[in-house]
Amino acid sequence: MQSAYHLLDRPILAGTGSSPEHSRAAAQSVLVPMLWLIAGGCAAATVDTAVAMAWWGPKGIAPEHILQGFASWFIGPRAFAGGLVTALAGALIYAQMMCALVVVYYVCARRSASLWERPLLCGGVYGALAYFAIFQVMVPALTGAHPKTLDMVWIATCLAVYITVVGSFCALFSRAAGAARR
């Protein structure tokens, strides 16, 4: 088991008596991979949220309402009355969840290099699994309700976005983090 003083299998603090160059290199060996993982999560969240806004906007659903929907997973229906604050909270929640997906892929790929070697195929499968885990397991468990929409075109669109964008971003950005770590 890793010590609390390690992140991504690298020491957080450089050893005592090390040169400034060594300290800087050690910090970069942790910071750069973390930035790739965060960037991947934020990119996936942004594209997926933009797709949802493009889909629901013409149907009269405001972008703020979509973001509040993410917040409602944790604070319930009152999220929709929270205005900009809960919309921002929802955006942060969803971005953090996407970052977590990228980190999980990264950890798995560190143990199975084939996940980095075939990022589009493995990322697509991972995206499909992530979609079902989030929207068929996690969200119903958090909210106590099953998805209200049975719009098969919307579900297929979401699944396609998770396969082609979310999963691929998880694979490609975690691969970049792995390369930056070396």
pLDDT (tens digit per residue) in 13-43: 444 455 667 666 766 777 899 999 999 999 9
Residues in CB range of 146: below 8 A, 6 or more apart:
140
Element (H, E) at 143: helix 139-143
- Parse the chain into domains and list their residue ranges: 34-181
Q: Could you give the CA distance from residue 117 to residue 31 in angstroms, rounded to a whole number? A: 23
- 132/156 Cα distance (integer angstroms): 12
pLDDT at 18: 58
Residue 12 has pLDDT above 80, yes or no: no
pTM score, whole prediction? 0.83
Residue 27 CB: number of other CB atoms within 10 A? Answer: 15
Please give the Cα distance from 33 to 169 (Å, whole number).
14
State how far the Cα of 64 lies from the Cα of 57, in Å rounded to an integer: 10
What's the pLDDT tens digit per position in 81-138? Answer: 999 999 999 999 999 999 999 999 999 999 998 999 999 999 999 999 999 999 989 9
Position of tokens 């068929």? Answer: 136
Q: How far apart are CA 145 and CA 66, in angstroms?
A: 17
> Residue 4's pLDDT band (boundaries 50, 70, 90)?
very low
